[in-house]
Structure 1
Amino acid sequence: MRKGQLGFLAGTHLVNDLYQGAIPAMLPFLMSQRHYSYAAVSGLAFAASGLSSLLQPVFGALSDRRPLPWLVPTGFGTAALGVAAAGLSGNYLVTWLCVALAGIGIAAYHPPATSQARAAGGSSQKAMSVFSVGGTIGGALAPTLVTLVIGGAGFGGSPLLAVPALVMVILWALKGPWTRARGHTAATALVTGASAKAASNTGRSDDWRSFARLVAVIIGWSIPYVTVTSMVSLHAQRDLGESAAAGAAVLSTYTAAGAVGTLLGGWLGDRRGRMTSVRVGYLVALPALLGIAWAPAFPVLVLSAAVFGVAMFLPFAAQVTLGQDYLPNRPGTASGLTLGLAMAAGGLCSPAFGWLADTSGLPAVFYALLAAFVLPAVMATRLPDRTLTAPAPQSPPLAESAHTEQSR
């Protein structure tokens, strides 16, 4: 495990997903200051999480063909630009396009960054959870940052939201030569190649049938995840009479709990097997989602959201590595499909849930999510495990390539 590279990639993931979390955090302000309806803000959630995610498999396929490390800073830089521009726009169509631009940047970041993190962390579930938790922490910080900036300075202060990305781009420019000097790019390519060679040498071809089942499970995961992320803050304000700060607090609690769940899932996966993380996560998430729908008071909502966040992210790292082991010859494609196309379902369903919220209220939305979540939870408990280990002889060439890269 190359801890320095893994930690730096986790930092970039924090910044990238800060902007993924900033979009739902902006929705209550857009409703109060620009008077958007539930359907309108759900359309923005669609632009960020749905439409843009359809492009992640494309970026994943490109990263399988050859390493594209420049997509990492380009991705989170574009996301920052889109979020800042969305805050400055007063027109709904322009706002929608800016949010879509941010989503495209987020989509471009994930496949190459995830492949690099798998190369840096090897087969450890804990390593992938460290990378993943960087994004979860970024999502947890987003509501507080958005509330401070937009709540304090209005949408005119939106360019301040781009500061974290600017800082990380500078660090990437300084850090990039350091990682290349130690063979990071070559190592990423060789580990990807080693996985493919291991699959060929052991007769382990791509298992598309199991991978399709995993994608179906993640689709079922993404629908409640995206919808709860978009609407739990509004639920606290509109149904329980809480302030905008309280709404941001419950959203932060939900995403922070996701960070805890991601790390806990990696730890549990290394000790009890990754399928334990998957099964426990889905089974605990069901009663927690019921608590969100039923919550008669704000403390119950906060507690239910916290448990739901932990449970939903227990399987996260396991699902990423499981998808890559189902498709050992196409790790970038696997990352793009599990993190991208499957996640698109959540965004694609957002307008329908927005319409349901406008007509029947937010509690009806959460009860509908609960009913839809039962099937994927059952399917998750029946997913087969598959472990593909790269052969040991790959280690000397890796070190040799690192030395060659360093001499350049």
Structure 2
Amino acid sequence: MQANVDQALCIRTTVYPILIAISVGHLLNDAMQAVVPALFPVLESTMKLSYTQIGWIAFVLNMTSSVLQPVVGLFSDRHPSPHFLPLGMAASLLGMIGLAFAPHFFFVLFAVLFIGLGSAVFHPEGSRVVYFAAGEKRGLAQSIYQVGGNTGNALAPLFTALIFVPFGQKGAGWFALVALVGMLVLFWVSKWYAGKLEAARTRKQKGVATMDKAGRRRVIFALVLLVFLVFARSWYYAGISNYYQFYLIKYYGISIREAQLYLFVFMIAGAIGTFFGGPLADRFGRRNLMIASTLGTAPFALMLPYLPLALVLPVVFIAGFVLSSSFATFVVYAQELLPGNVGMASGLIVGLAFGMGALGAVVLGKIADVYTLKTLMTMCSFLPLLGILTFLLPKEGQVN
């Protein structure tokens, strides 16, 4: 009896040291991913790349890192292994070295492939570690984890301004050291993670209550709608993170270095929004926060292409904060739809939805080449309005 009580208390306890460590690992992983868009202005200049080719680099990175995530997640749901965490970071290390010395466009694509593969391996297992360490504070735990990744992404403009503008493409070689640090952190996390897998297998063997056909249909509908909503959100994010810097340079006449400030503010606001979003979802409900976040972004997105430069910084901050406040909540909502397949659920949201959104990087780049950056930004500004579909999601407790 006492053993069962201890196990129950362990499940409910939030393990903050592990959450912080896996968040640091997430930051380092996504910081290496951020190296790729950070290099875009340099590669465009030195390799004479078109916007479409830039879109293809983003496509390869995001498709590899994202579409493989639900596949890896499904595999790890059946065969979980703590070794995946440091192995994923090792793949990113190889990609960083390749990117630093890539002589032409196709070699860049090959190097980016390794970076994406490392990310695809890391994310599902990282989400499972968070699930085990969360206790009853799933929203907060997921926010701690995701804020690491968002912060890593937000560093891209700083990388451009402080590393790649002065040092060029070879500055990417320094990030091999980042990968080594990440491997050390994840080796420590993997030891704790290994100790939890046996208990998880025992709970899984006890089985889960069967679901009737109507319940399965509700889960499938909710998952499809959830993926579509994140897909639309990621198209808007792709438009801002990949092309807004070029829009600022062309239409506002600012330098590459100055443009990074505006992009950094958008991304760091997203990291802050992610951190606060999880506890708000725990308090007010996951669906309510997703509605407020998706629709709340729309007015700021619609006005952004037409603002004077003096107003751009506050508006991109608010847009980034509101848009990303529901990011962790989407993941937790999916995990609760599929409690027996946490890795696959996390992969669907963080992976597949964003991988499909990577297609947007190519499409948006083509729009910018064929039409104008102004047309591109205007079209992107309408995407958050699709958040109205969030009202169709079932409330918590109404699906299973």
Q: Do residues 307 (structure 1) and 321 (structure 2) align?
A: no
> Paired residue for 2:295?
283
1:132 is displaced (CA, Å) by 0.8
Q: Do residues 340 (structure 1) and 356 (structure 2) align?
A: no
Letter in 2 for 1:363: K
Q: 2:146 aligns with which of 107, 127, 132?
A: 132
Letter in 1 for 2:284: R
Equivalent pair of 2:301/2:319 in contact (CA under 8 Å): yes
Measured in 1, the distance between the counterparts of 2:100 and 2:385 equals 37
Q: 2:284 aligns with which of 249, 272, 276?
A: 272
1:257 is displaced (CA, Å) by 0.4
Moved more, 363-372 or 52-61: 363-372
Structure 2 CA distance for partners of 1:13 and 1:275, relative to 1, 3 Å: same
Moved more, 38-47 or 362-371: 362-371
Moved more, 139-148 or 196-205: 196-205
Measured in 2, the distance between the counterparts of 1:221 and 1:89 equals 32
Equivalent pair of 2:66/2:120 in contact (CA under 8 Å): yes
Q: Deviations over 1:201-228 (max 9, x none)?
A: 9997682221111111111111111221
Q: Do residues 62 (structure 1) and 75 (structure 2) align?
A: yes
Moved more, 255-264 or 226-235: 226-235
Any idea what SS the aligned residue of 1:329 has? coil
> Paired residue for 1:403?
none
Equivalent pair of 1:325/1:387 in contact (CA under 8 Å): no
1:93 is displaced (CA, Å) by 0.8
> Paired residue for 2:4?
none
Equivalent pair of 1:199/1:205 in contact (CA under 8 Å): no
> Paired residue for 2:366?
355
Any idea what SS the aligned residue of 2:252 has? coil
Measured in 1, the distance between the counterparts of 2:296 and 2:116 equals 30
Q: Do residues 170 (structure 1) and 170 (structure 2) align?
A: no
Letter in 2 for 1:257: A
Measured in 2, the distance between the counterparts of 1:138 and 1:153 equals 20
For structure 2, the residue ranges without an aligned partner over 5 or more in a row are 1-13
Q: 1:150 aligns with which of 154, 164, 170?
A: 164
Structure 2 CA distance for partners of 1:76 and 1:242, relative to 1, 3 Å: farther
1:70 is displaced (CA, Å) by 1.7
Letter in 2 for 1:122: G
Measured in 2, the distance between the counterparts of 1:340 and 1:363 equals 29
1:342 is displaced (CA, Å) by 1.1
Q: 1:186 aligns with which of 198, 203, 215?
A: 198
Q: Do residues 321 (structure 1) and 335 (structure 2) align?
A: no
1:351 is displaced (CA, Å) by 1.6
Structure 2 CA distance for partners of 1:329 and 1:302, relative to 1, 3 Å: same
Q: Do residues 213 (structure 1) and 221 (structure 2) align?
A: no
Q: What is the number of equivalent residue pairs in this alignment? A: 384
Structure 2 CA distance for partners of 1:69 and 1:83, relative to 1, 3 Å: same
Equivalent pair of 1:79/1:101 in contact (CA under 8 Å): yes
> Paired residue for 2:8?
none
Structure 1 residues 196-275: aligned runs within 5 Å: 197-200=207-210, 207-275=219-287
Letter in 1 for 2:141: A
Structure 2 CA distance for partners of 1:153 and 1:290, relative to 1, 3 Å: same
1:314 is displaced (CA, Å) by 1.1
1:263 is displaced (CA, Å) by 1.3
Any idea what SS the aligned residue of 2:141 has? helix
> Paired residue for 2:395?
385
Structure 1 residues 33-182: aligned runs within 5 Å: 33-123=46-136, 124-174=138-188, 176-177=190-191, 180=194
Measured in 1, the distance between the counterparts of 2:266 and 2:142 equals 21
1:199 is displaced (CA, Å) by 4.4
Any idea what SS the aligned residue of 1:239 has? helix
Q: What TM-score does the superposition give when structure 1 sets the normalisation length?
A: 0.87
> Paired residue for 2:3?
none
Q: Deviations over 1:349-404 (max 9, x none)?
A: 222211111232222112112334423x111233113349xxxxxxxxxxxxxxxx
Q: Which runs of 4+ in 1 moved over 4 A?
A: 187-191, 198-206
Any idea what SS the aligned residue of 2:396 has? coil
Q: Deviations over 1:142-167 (max 9, x none)?
A: 33134322222222232102221111
Structure 2 CA distance for partners of 1:360 and 1:304, relative to 1, 3 Å: farther
Letter in 1 for 2:252: L
Q: Deviations over 1:30-79 (max 9, x none)?
A: 11222211111111111111344221111011111021222222223322
Q: What TM-score does the superposition give when structure 2 sets the normalisation length?
A: 0.89
Measured in 2, the distance between the counterparts of 1:217 and 1:158 equals 33
Moved more, 36-45 or 235-244: 235-244
Equivalent pair of 1:126/1:266 in contact (CA under 8 Å): yes
Percent identical:
28
For structure 1, the residue ranges without an aligned partner over 5 or more in a row are 389-408
Q: Deviations over 1:293-321 (max 9, x none)?
A: 22332x32222221121111111111001
Structure 2 CA distance for partners of 1:16 and 1:94, relative to 1, 3 Å: same
Letter in 1 for 2:339: P
Measured in 1, the distance between the counterparts of 2:63 and 2:191 equals 35
